[in-house]
Amino acid sequence: MKIRSDIVRMYRDIHSWVGIVCGLALFIAFYAGAITMFEAPLNRWASEPRVFTTHTPLENTPELVEKVLAEYPQAANRYEITLDAGLQDRPARVMWSSGRRGGGTTYYAELAEDGSLQVHTEGPSAVGQLVDDIHRQVGILLDHDIAMPIVGIVSLLYFIALVSGVIVLLPTLVKDLFILRIGKNLKRMWLDFHNALGLFSLPFHIIMALTAVVFALHDQFYVSQRALLEKNGRPEVHEESHEHRGALAPQQIVARLQEQSPEFTPLFMQFHYEEDHGLELLVSGTNPRHGARAPHYGMVAVDPYSGEKTMTGYMPGEQDGWYATLTSFFSLHFGNFGGNPVRWGYFLLGLAGAVLFYTGNLLWIESHRKKRRKGYEYLEVSQTRASKVLGALTVGISLGCIAGISATIAAAKVLPLWTEAVAAWHTGIYYAVFFLATAWAFYRGAARSAVDLSYVSAAATLLIPLVSALSAIIPGVGWNHGGSTYLIDAVALVGAGTLVVLARKTLARIHSAPYYSIWYVGADPVAPVQAVPQPVAGDATGV
């Protein structure tokens, strides 16, 4: 396909600059996002064995709720009833938080065998939520409402980079599609690898770019939708207050839902009190034939006094066209369809995306020096200060993200031994490692720090299975749940090995790179000196 060279050049510049601007944020989003594909197994691996050995029968839940509200009246504003008390992230029949919408301390309650109330604050590990937060806010340490519009803008730029990259590749698409030129020209080889990786994972990246825009800016979409609905007469989704009646028991509500929607499987109920409308109820659950609004479930609003559905906008399989379209974007982004094969596919594509952004930035730095030589080919142009800064940022942020996430995951099994503020410590460990790695990259330069930080990342990742091994050997240190949770340790071992290989390859590269490269640090001081060939006596005599 022929495209004018000036047009290709313009789109190449757009692709490069847009990629440079948002590439590092996207590295964090893709690396952390790949891990969130297995957030539930990770939380199980990182969480202490449950403090409740038995669970209150569902038919006794009204008695449990009554005792909770009598002793903890603040729970009346918002509390949850777990229908399957075996869920890892909901280890008790009733739970509530002291802060607004899940903030503050979370309490878990059950009835003891003698009918007395048991309440604990120990719950699932916070490390899975931290990795998810890093993914959703691309590591931005700002309030969620401020960070998400920034993420939305990054996602839009990401889509522009994808379109411009495809246009740049079109003229040589057929010729270069299956070419990987392995040789002395490492830059050419990495460019072929970058292009092939980007092209073959293009559908996944388009899905991520478009769905991330919706995901990051959906609050703004809802405001627009609400304004439109109010202009045309907003429907009333709340039922009138029924304070004169008693709410149905949980098993009665489940039975009414099964009558109305047999394919919907309720998982948990969230009761909350609204001054204008009294007690309200959201029931979360799944329908295997339809995608869900949240990563693992959808929701339906239910009248707690009659069990009738009052709003099905987020209910899998019973949405109107608008909500179904919006949910399909969320479902495509979360990969919550197709089971484990889709999750593993998303995991590998997420890691490949992170590699794409890492190599893209470094390729741009190397290409930018060559471009500056145009018209002065007889001169050797060194890297600019801006290129060195970008190189340090690329290495420090990317490897700092890997090392930080690995370190905070590895700490999950030992933090409860020393502190009750586990969630704060997880956040502190990640950002401490992340910022130290970035500072180290500026101190040592991109080339040297790439080797150092690759080894540090490998060591931090290796700590994950090591802590599990120590937990099996030393009583009282950590725990092991067995079964599929060992996959977390196995994947970490593979990751650590890959990082060691990357460190060794980078070490070889930085001592053989030309002095104008971003990877140049000088000749290998331990490389053996090659012997100078001596002339053969016969040759000297002309024999």
Which one is predicted more confidently, 90 or 284?
284
What DSSP character marks residue 62?
H
**Amino acid 94: pLDDT:** 92
Q: How does pLDDT run across 484-534, given as a tens digit for each residue?
A: 789 999 999 999 999 999 999 899 888 877 777 788 876 655 555 454 445
CA–CA separation, 76 vs 271, rounded Å?
8
Position 479, amino acid: W
Long-range contacts of 508-512 (CB under 8 A, 24+ apart): 509/186, 510/447, 510/448, 510/450, 510/451
- Average pLDDT, stretch 476-484? 84
Q: How many CB atoms lie within 10 A of CB 448?
A: 18
| Residue corresponding to tokens 């449950």 | 50
Q: How many CB atoms lie within 10 A of CB 458?
A: 23
Joined together, the tokens standing for residue 311 give 């709003």
Is-contact 51 120, C-beta < 8 A?
yes
**Which of 235-244, 275-284, 351-360, 506-515 has the largest mean confidence?**
351-360
- Average pLDDT, stretch 302-325? 86
**Amino acid 348: pLDDT:** 93
103 Cα distance to chain centroid: 21
| Residue corresponding to tokens 């039975």 | 255
- Asked if the model's pLDDT at residue 235 lies above 90, the reply is no
| Residue corresponding to tokens 């390729």 | 363
User: Mean pLDDT lowest for which of 23-32, 270-279, 351-360, 403-412?
Assistant: 270-279
40 Cα distance to chain centroid: 13
pTM greater than the 0.85 cutoff: no
User: Which residues, in sequence order, are bridge partners of residue 106?
Assistant: 97
Largest CA distance in the chain: 119
CA–CA separation, 453 vs 402, rounded Å?
9
- Asked if the model's pLDDT at residue 231 lies above 60, the reply is no
Which one is predicted more confidently, 365 or 183?
365
CA–CA separation, 127 vs 35, rounded Å?
11
